[in-house]
Amino acid sequence: GAVVSQHPSWVICKSGTSVKIECRSLDFQATTMFWYRQFPKQSLMLMATSNEGSKATYEQGVEKDKFLINHASLTLSTLTVTSAHPEDSSFYICSAISQTGKRYEQYFGPGTRLTVT
Amino acid sequence: DQQVKQNSPSLSVQEGRISILNCDYTNSMFDYFLWYKKYPAEGPTFLISISSIKDKNEDGRFTVFLNKSAKHLSLHIVPSQPGDSAVYFCAASPNTGNQFYFGTGTSLTVIP
């Protein structure tokens, strides 16, 4: 099946710094990618929809100036957590949409564990 | 508004027995349904799917049943194994567009 990678898999940063997380579709092109956040023992929370060549669509309650999303190519979307704070510590997961005919399939990356100290 | 619901946050099953995970949805436009399995600190992995033209899809120990009139689907795992212990998410997609809607997950524990 299709493979989605994320880099880094784990990152620690200090409060006030910015962190960039990359999401790549390795063997298919993805016009749409999603960014999720998962808190411990909680469900996936959709943060934003990333469309190649256009601005991301953010879910209600997600600060677009804090979580910058750039979908620069059909295989790469990046999420930058700006001025990170300890409450931003979480597990961030991306997914990419693969289209076959009229059917869409969603493939997930392995996730990135962010710890802000 | 939660369009896909998994009302059981957790489930414990003895090894070798059947695990049944349930999922309900509200949007009649959904025509494609998926189950994902997620281990801690990992991304979800695709498990099995079903199209609305079917009412059952089987893959090894995993079977998904779809009841369109009740807007209900279920995942059966038999026999359950300790390695099946994970969080299971159901997801639904409408017949237009590429949006997926996820349930809140059910944490399955298979007791050896």
| Digit-coded pLDDT (tens) for A42-52 | 678 889 998 88
| Digit-coded pLDDT (tens) for A49-90 | 988 888 899 988 999 999 999 988 999 999 999 999 999 999
B55 CB contacts (<8 Å, ≥6 apart)?
A: B65, B66, B67, B68
Residue A38: what pLDDT? 85
Residue A106: what pLDDT? 86
| Digit-coded pLDDT (tens) for B73-89 | 999 999 999 999 999 99
Residue B72: what pLDDT? 97
Q: Check if B36 contacts A (Cβ < 8 Å).
A: yes
Question: What would the mean pLDDT of A98-109 be, rounded to a whole number?
Answer: 82
pLDDT at B96 exceeding the cut of 80? no
Phi, psi of B80 (to 5 degrees): -75, 145
Across the interface, whether the CB atoms of A43 and B46 are under 8 A apart is answered no
Distance CA A87, CA A70 (A): 22
Q: Is the dihedral of CA B60, B57, B44, A7 positive or negative?
A: positive
Tokens 């009139």 belong to which residue?
B69
Across the interface, whether the CB atoms of A93 and B91 are under 8 A apart is answered no
Phi, psi of A88 (to 5 degrees): -85, -10
Question: Å from B14 to nearest chain A CA?
Answer: 22
Distance CA B61, CA B66 (A): 17
CB-CB neighbors (< 8 A) of B103 in chain A: 43
Phi, psi of A86 (to 5 degrees): -50, -30
| Digit-coded pLDDT (tens) for B32-53 | 999 999 998 888 988 999 999 9
Across the interface, whether the CB atoms of B46 and A1 are under 8 A apart is answered yes
Across the interface, whether the CB atoms of B102 and A43 are under 8 A apart is answered yes
Q: Check if B92 contacts A (Cβ < 8 Å).
A: no
Distance CA B92, CA B100 (A): 6
